[in-house]
């Protein structure tokens, strides 16, 4: 049986079509959400189906998740990204007990029971500090593509210490560092460290239990992965498909009904 999960996130909309009999993702699609989540959710979903040669009648349950999950009016039900991410990541990483998810607008830490259900979770406060959009904002200010952040930060010899993670204040601080000829690599590594510290402080409100899996768009950044490991002091592995965890979990939730 085929089910679909659609994760309408603040930055990207992700779709996974899952075949429960073969236990595999048969199609996936990722595209920017933009300013019209309703239209975009429908469009990305249709494109994903068309790409896999599927029609409306081929799918069983469609489950929406993500911050704009209510926009996917065509879905049969919704589930929060916390439950969906937990379900998806645990399927890929059966030993996982702690998930660190840094997305566009939110970062979350989810603690799982030994059986894989959500035991507890924490989320960042309302501002963008501590989320992926913070890094993107600073990337624009520095004029460096975000994709290069991971690689550049690995070359850092002396990461800078940032005094604030407030987006506005950090921008002004970083521009001062640039003006003072501080190396870009050191600034970026400093950013990763600061962000990792923020997320780890949040994680410590729970009891972090290994295995720890890092997911969300920011998990694609190698520098962040390294910084997280260092700040947390335990091994952290990257999710098998960092962008697709919640969409996959939603698709799995569709097979459970």
- Separation between Cα atoms, residue 41 and residue 6, nearest integer Å: 8
Task: Using CB under 8 A, pick the residue from 79, 138, 160, 199 that binds another protein.
Answer: 79
Pattern 91-110, binding to another protein, x per CB under 8 A? --------------xx----
Closest separation between CB of residue 2 and another protein, Å?
A: 24
Q: For residue 126, give every residue at least 6 positions away whose Cβ sits within 8 Å of its Cβ, in sequence order, or none.
A: none
Measured from the CB atom, the residue of 184 and 215 that comes closer to another protein is: 215
- Separation between Cα atoms, residue 225 and residue 196, nearest integer Å: 9
Task: Using CB under 8 A, pick the residue from 25, 26, 118, 166 that binds another protein.
Answer: 118
Measured from the CB atom, the residue of 77 and 229 that comes closer to another protein is: 77
Closest separation between CB of residue 47 and another protein, Å?
A: 25
Specify whether the CB–CB gap between 67 and 73 falls below 8 A: no
The dihedral region occupied by 221, where left means phi > 0, alpha psi between -120 and 50, and beta the remainder, is: beta
205 binds another protein (CB under 8 A): yes
- Separation between Cα atoms, residue 13 and residue 32, nearest integer Å: 6
Task: Using CB under 8 A, pick the residue from 43, 54, 77, 119 that binds another protein.
Answer: 119
- Separation between Cα atoms, residue 64 and residue 180, nearest integer Å: 47
Q: Which of residues 32-71 bind another protein (CB under 8 A)?
A: 67-68
22 binds another protein (CB under 8 A): no
Task: Using CB under 8 A, pick the residue from 7, 81, 185, 186 that binds another protein.
Answer: 81
- Separation between Cα atoms, residue 150 and residue 101, nearest integer Å: 17
Residues in the chain: 257
């Amino acid at each position: 049986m085929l089910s679909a999960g659609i994760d309408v996130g603040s930055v990207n909309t992700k779709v996974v079509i899952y075949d429960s009999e073969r236990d595999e993702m048969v199609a996936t699609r990722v595209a920017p959400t933009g300013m019209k989540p309703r239209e975009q959710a429908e469009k990305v979903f249709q494109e994903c189906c068309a790409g896999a040669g599927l029609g409306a009648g081929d799918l069983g349950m469609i489950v929406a998740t993500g911050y704009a999950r209510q926009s996917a009016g065509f879905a049969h039900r919704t589930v929060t990204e916390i439950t969906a991410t937990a379900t998806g990541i645990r399927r890929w990483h059966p030993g996982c007990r702690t998930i660190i998810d840094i997305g566009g607008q939110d970062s979350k830490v989810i603690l799982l029971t030994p059986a894989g259900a959500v035991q507890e979770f924490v989320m960042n406060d309302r501002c963008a500090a501590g989320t992926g959009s913070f890094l993107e904002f600073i990337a624009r200010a520095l004029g460096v593509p975000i994709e290069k952040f991971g690689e550049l930060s690995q070359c850092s010899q002396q990461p800078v210490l940032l005094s604030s993670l407030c987006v506005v204040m950090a921008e002004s601080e970083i521009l001062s560092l640039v003006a003072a000829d501080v190396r870009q690599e050191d600034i970026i590594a400093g950013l990763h460290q600061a962000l990792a510290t923020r997320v780890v402080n949040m994680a410590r409100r729970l009891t972090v239990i290994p295995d720890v899996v890092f997911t969300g768009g920011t998990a694609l950044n190698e520098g962040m992965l390294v910084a997280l490991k260092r700040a947390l002091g335990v091994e952290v592995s990257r999710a098998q498909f960092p962008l697709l965890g919640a969409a996959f979990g939603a698709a799995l939730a569709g097979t459970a009904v």
